[in-house]
Structure 1
Amino acid sequence: MIKSELVQKIAEANPHLYQRDVENIVNAILDQIVDALAQGDRVELRGFGAFSVKQREARTGRNPRTGKQVDVSSKVVPYFKTGKEMRERLNGAA
């Protein structure tokens, strides 16, 4: 599912809302999550999961095309850990 499909499903489930309003709400939620992660904060949605960032250390990689070694700098990457309720639903325990 892509974002536009999510917006469409939410709009269909809530006929009292305009699709453009639903799109604005979804974008606002996602923007807030990204902003919090950019500040190094953790975003927890109970039952769904938690978004956080992890630091990846610098390392030596390899260019797959040429085989030459390449220095890869350290970077911050997003991380998502599923919540207990989601894991149970996905595994059929709920």
Structure 2
Amino acid sequence: MNKTDLVNAIAAQGLSKADSKKALDAVLDAISGALKEGDKVAILGFGTFSINERPAREGINPATKEKITIAAKKVVKFKAGAELAAGVN
């Protein structure tokens, strides 16, 4: 399912496609903004979005077998809620 399919699924619940797109964009912007500020976003019954920091580490270039340093970075983590996990299984 892509963004267009998701907008169509929301529109099937009674909103217009334009309003569905605006609602979806607003939700995604709010989640993105909170994560950029370092906050955790918990949606009861769905799941939790959070930021994890990966430390710098050493790796090996597979082509040259040379050791390289992989920079530290932040990654988005999602943990499914109990209701979502139960619904999938």
Give the structure-1-normalised TM-score.
0.86
1:36 counterpart SS class: helix
> Structure 2: how far apart are the matches of 1:68 and 1:2?
40
**Counterpart pick for 1:54 among 28, 52, 55:** 52
CA separation of 1:66 and 1:24: change in aligned 2, threshold 3 A: farther
CA shift, 1:21, in A, is 1.6
Match of 1:84 in 2: 82
Q: How many pairs were matched up?
A: 89
Q: Deviations over 1:37-83 (max 9, x none)?
A: 11110000000000000000001123344433221111110000010
> Structure 2: how far apart are the matches of 1:30 and 1:62?
36
Q: Which letter does structure 1 place at the counterpart of 2:67? A: Q
Give the structure-2-normalised TM-score.
0.90
> Structure 1: how far apart are the matches of 2:62 and 2:54?
20
Q: Mind listing any 5+ residue stretches in structure 1 that lack a counterpart?
A: none
> Structure 1: how far apart are the matches of 2:9 and 2:83?
22
Q: Which letter does structure 1 place at the counterpart of 2:11? A: A
> Structure 2: how far apart are the matches of 1:30 and 1:83?
18
Among all aligned residue pairs of Structure 1 and Structure 2, give the percentage whose two residues are the same amino acid.
40
RMSD: 1.3
Q: Mind listing any 5+ residue stretches in structure 2 that lack a counterpart?
A: none
- Residue 25 in structure 1 maps to residue 19 in structure 2: no
Q: Which letter does structure 2 place at the counterpart of 1:20? A: A
Match of 2:35 in 1: 37
Q: Which letter does structure 1 place at the counterpart of 2:47? A: G
Match of 1:12 in 2: 12
